[in-house]
Amino acid sequence: MPRIFDNIEQQLLPALRQALQGADRADFCVGYFNLRGWRHVAPLIEEWPGTDGRCCRLLVGMQRLPQEHLRAGLRLAGDDGIPDQQAVLRLKKQMAEEFRDQLLVGAPSNRDESALRCLSAQLKASKLVVKLFLRHPLHAKLYLVHRPDANLPSVGYLGSSNLTLAGLQGQGELHVDVLDHDACAKLGRWFDDRWNDRWCLDISAELAAIIDQSWAREDLLPPYHVYLKMAYHLSQDARAGLAEFRIPAVFGDRLFDFQVAAVKIAAHHLNKRGGVLIGDVVGLGKTLMATALARILQDDQGWETLILCPKNLERMWTEYRCEYGLIADVLPFSRAIQELPNLRRYRVVLIDESHNLRNREGKTYRAIQDYIQKNDSRCILLSATPYNKSYLDLSAQLRLFVSPDEDLGARPERKLREVGELTFAQLHQCSPRSLAASEKSEHPDDWRDLMRRYLVRRTRSFIQQNYAEVDGDGRRYLTMADGTRSHFPARVPRTVGFAINDQPNDPYALLYAPAVVNAVNDLRLPRYGLGNYVDPRPAKKPSNAEEQVLAGLSRAGVRLMGFSRTNLFKRLESGGPAFIQSVERHILRNFVFLHALDRGLDLPLGSQGADLLDGRTGDRDLEDTLLLPENDLDDTPVGATHPSPVTVSPVTGSPTAAEEALRHQAESVYATYAGPLKRRFTWVRSSLFRDTLREDLLADARKLLGVLAACGRWDADRDPKLAALVTLLAETHPNDKSSSSRSLPTRWITWRNNSRPAV
């Protein structure tokens, strides 16, 4: 009686391996061959010499696609279905592509690499010969093993398993063994008839070449080739845009080459993803590029454009619309709430200064978002500063045209590795490939991978390196439409000195006094080292989510506190008003925390990355995340009873009176944080921290209040640094300016004084 192999009670693979031991050749016929699956029988085949027919012959039958079955059923009468030479070449190429695609599935492993290299070597040594049967679809599954044994010369296995790991032992199949001499001989003749068929082609060399050209190849690729491969795939969108679109003739030669490239790439993003953010730095012509982009959609699709912009840009956009024949209406942000609900459909919405739309709870934001979504409008965003201090600035702009649960093809990989995919799914209940998932990440790499799908952004240095020409003097320039050259001016630092008197009323003498420097040096800065204040034995243990937040705090520590102190000294060096503003904001932030601690409320934790303190990004204040820019938007959140933008009132009066005023202001700030701005923070229970946090916050605040009281209010009329700047602009260089939108300022200004604080 034959044995039955169903891969449940009896598995086929162990029996096949046992039969191959001591055998000298084998004939396999399958409908599907998995290159990685060969490793399960490769060691037994390796012992065969590959000469005199002592090898494994593998016959692979071509599987038909559903549409091919349909065409076969509708053939004209008399068509015997025998392939012609052209069809054979096509099928052979198709099978080669299918084998190549196998190697693109799944992550490469050392085990797979070793198995594939062994397979390639066996193909080259003719220990394994693979043929493709093309006369007709062949679904037979036969494993016939020939042995130098007079009593049992052949063993056959006949059934349903393909040559894959799943087919041999993983999934339910059905096979029987064939031990009868006559039956095995007949199966052998059946196999030989197909193996020797005219339309059975040897593809052994092609398979070996596919493996040798893949990641499993023996010789290592040069790193430069890997780089080129990555660059090729990462630039796919850019290359597609450059090839698909053309600039409307109305623009003539008004656009530089770098602007032409940006417009074409942006057009591809817009068509593929429904929106694009043009984020070139100031002065590179975003307005002209956006006009050209809107005109492309007008010419190609017949779509009209709605331009939304701040009030002060309305006239400029009206002029651009008329000059370049753009069928568009211009609407200031301030009129959006009243007019958008009843406005006719525009298929393209262009939003200038889109970074103003960062508050998703604002009425203006809601009105614009509703209009875009209801009309299924394509969205063009313009902003030189799309990101301020929170990545939620970016997500807010994307949410204007991207659904938070839409599959974006990008995942926050760093965040997922940090917390684990299962924990992430349990905590956030969203698809890892969605915008909602990216909003949970604070890692730049995650946002960089997402934004490359929507953002077109270049800097001046990029333009100089890739698009500018060089004259005989080594200066870089762009050629204007009239043939003239516009040079990129060299930035040459010049020092402007100003004197500091030792008089009691000299403002900088007061700021640089040892008492001020010592006060800053003595700050404990607990908000930037919260990990040092975590209570090891809180009354109520932290949840899993809180544990992750607390673990993140421990990574800041002393380094971030040092950066914060250095930043305060930088603000002091920058100027009196800047230092006083930073101190006022720092004190207010401390009192916001004190307000939460005193009342047992959750603490608002913002981004504490060191990049906020990096002077290379500009002399920006660490504390200015407290403020939102003033503009002509009505940013009052829907249902709110107080305005959303938080303002810091100047600290005046005695330290005691100032402290009382700041406590009242901190209460209002906390209400705004916990209300319309809640999603911009991570929240953690104040009871998880020791009482020393409250003590150090209050001590720092009072030290800085003492500094403000000693320095007094800043009087611009007695500011020698400001006076030196006025002299430089009004007297030394009254007629020099750099107002061209196509050039850079001609010099940087550094300040030198005779009394710098010792840091």
CB 438 within 8 A of CB 446: yes
Residue 631: pLDDT band (50, 70, 90) is very low
> What's the CA gap between 669 and 441, in Å, rounded?
25
pLDDT surpasses 70 at 507? yes
Question: What are the pLDDT digits (tens) for 254-288?
Answer: 899 999 999 999 999 999 999 999 999 888 899 99
Whether residue 127 is found in the same domain as residue 250 = no
- Most confident by average pLDDT, 294-298, 558-562, 577-581: 294-298
Q: Is residue 489 part of a domain?
A: no
Q: Is residue 198 part of a domain?
A: yes
Joined together, the tokens standing for residue 495 give 């020092």
Q: Is residue 758 part of a domain?
A: no
pLDDT surpasses 50 at 377? yes
Residue 302 has what pLDDT? 93
596-602: Cβ within 8 A, 24+ apart: 596/670, 596/686, 597/686, 597/689, 597/693, 597/694, 597/697, 598/694, 600/686, 600/687, 601/670, 601/674, 601/686, 602/674, 602/683, 602/684, 602/685, 602/686
How does strand 305-309 pair with strand 128-133?
unpaired
Residue 642 has what pLDDT? 33
Whether residue 445 is found in the same domain as residue 397 = no
pLDDT surpasses 80 at 624? no
Domain boundary pick from 452, 487, 510: 452
Determine what percent of the chain is predicted with pLDDT higher than 90: 36
- pTM, 2 dp: 0.65
Residue 145: pLDDT band (50, 70, 90) is very high
Residue 651 has what pLDDT? 62
What are the Cα distances from residue 640, in Å, to 2, 104, 308, 361, 635? 80, 53, 24, 9, 10
CB 155 within 8 A of CB 17: no
Closest alpha carbon to 302 in 270, 331, 326, 266:
326
- Whole-number mean pLDDT of the chain? 82
Q: List alpha helices for 74-141, DSSP H.
A: 85-102, 110-124
Whether residue 459 is found in the same domain as residue 557 = no
Residue 571 has what pLDDT? 80
Q: Is residue 166 part of a domain?
A: yes
Residue written as token pair 């509703």: 370
DSSP line for 406-454: S--S---HHHHHHH-HHHHHHHH-S-TTSHHHHTT---HHHHHHHHTTT
CA angle 409, 414, 541 (to 5 degrees): 120
Whether residue 588 is found in the same domain as residue 711 = yes
Residue 78 has what pLDDT? 46
CB 412 within 8 A of CB 446: yes
Q: For residue 132, give the CATH number of its domain.
A: 3.30.870.10
> What's the CA gap between 82 and 136, in Å, rounded?
7
pLDDT surpasses 90 at 343? yes
23-27, 94-98, 233-237: least confident range: 94-98
Residue written as token pair 């023996």: 218
> What's the CA gap between 552 and 622, in Å, rounded?
19
Q: What is the mean pLDDT of residues 548-576?
A: 75
> What's the CA gap between 19 and 478, in Å, rounded?
76
CB 524 within 8 A of CB 548: no
Q: For residue 261, give the CATH number of its domain.
A: 3.40.50.10810
* Beta carbons within 10 angstroms of residue 504's beta carbon: 7
Return the higher-pLDDT residue of 394 and 741. Answer: 394
Domain boundary pick from 452, 485, 515: 452
Task: Decide: residue 704, CB within 10 A, 0-12 exposed, 13-18 middle, 19+ buried.
Answer: buried
Closest alpha carbon to 137 in 38, 56, 231, 61:
61
Question: What are the pLDDT digits (tens) for 413-467?
Answer: 999 998 888 888 888 889 999 999 999 998 889 999 999 999 999 888 899 999 9
Residue 366 has what pLDDT? 93
Q: What is the mean pLDDT of residues 499-506?
A: 68
Residue 555 has what pLDDT? 54
Residue 34 has what pLDDT? 83
74-83, 532-541, 547-556: least confident range: 74-83
CB 422 within 8 A of CB 396: no
Q: Is residue 705 part of a domain?
A: yes
Question: What are the pLDDT digits (tens) for 196-215?
Answer: 998 888 989 988 998 888 88
Helix then strand then coil, % of the chain, to nearest 5: 50, 15, 40
Whether residue 417 is found in the same domain as residue 359 = no
Domain boundary pick from 387, 417, 452: 452
> Residue 50 gets which letter from DSSP?
S
Q: What is the mean pLDDT of residues 635-644?
A: 38
Question: What are the pLDDT digits (tens) for 88-106?
Answer: 777 777 777 788 787 777 7
Residue type, 143: Y
Phi-psi category of residue 280: left, alpha or beta, with phi > 0 → left and psi -120 to 50 → alpha: beta
Residue 52 has what pLDDT? 84
Residue count (the chain): 759
Task: Decide: residue 112, CB within 10 A, 0-12 exposed, 13-18 middle, 19+ buried.
Answer: middle
Residue 552 has what pLDDT? 74
Whether residue 388 is found in the same domain as residue 423 = no
Residue 253 has what pLDDT? 84
Residue 557: pLDDT band (50, 70, 90) is low
CA angle 317, 322, 325 (to 5 degrees): 115
Chain CA centroid to CA 532, Å: 32
Non-local (6+) Cβ contacts of 117 within 8 A are 211, 216, 218
> What's the CA gap between 296 and 266, in Å, rounded?
11
Whether residue 552 is found in the same domain as residue 629 = yes
Q: What is the mean pLDDT of residues 593-606?
A: 91
Whether residue 248 is found in the same domain as residue 364 = yes
Whether residue 148 is found in the same domain as residue 35 = yes
What are the Cα distances from residue 549, in Å, to 624, 655, 674, 682, 688? 23, 34, 18, 8, 11
Domain count, the chain: 4
Joined together, the tokens standing for residue 251 give 């623009």
Q: Is residue 754 part of a domain?
A: no
What are the Cα distances from residue 581, in Å, to 574, 578, 623, 651, 671? 12, 5, 9, 9, 22
DSSP line for 187-210: HHHHHHHHHT-TTEEE-HHHHHHH
Residue 657 has what pLDDT? 83
Whether residue 362 is found in the same domain as residue 502 = no
Q: Is residue 90 part of a domain?
A: yes
Return the higher-pLDDT residue of 422 and 635. Answer: 422
Return the higher-pLDDT residue of 651 and 458. Answer: 458
Closest alpha carbon to 157 in 139, 170, 145:
145
pLDDT surpasses 80 at 85? no
Whether residue 431 is found in the same domain as residue 459 = no
Whether residue 651 is found in the same domain as residue 509 = yes
CB 752 within 8 A of CB 496: yes
Residue 168 has what pLDDT? 77
Q: What is the mean pLDDT of residues 674-696?
A: 88
Closest alpha carbon to 32 in 175, 165, 213:
165
Q: Is residue 26 part of a domain?
A: yes
**Domain enclosing residue 434, as ranges:** 409-452
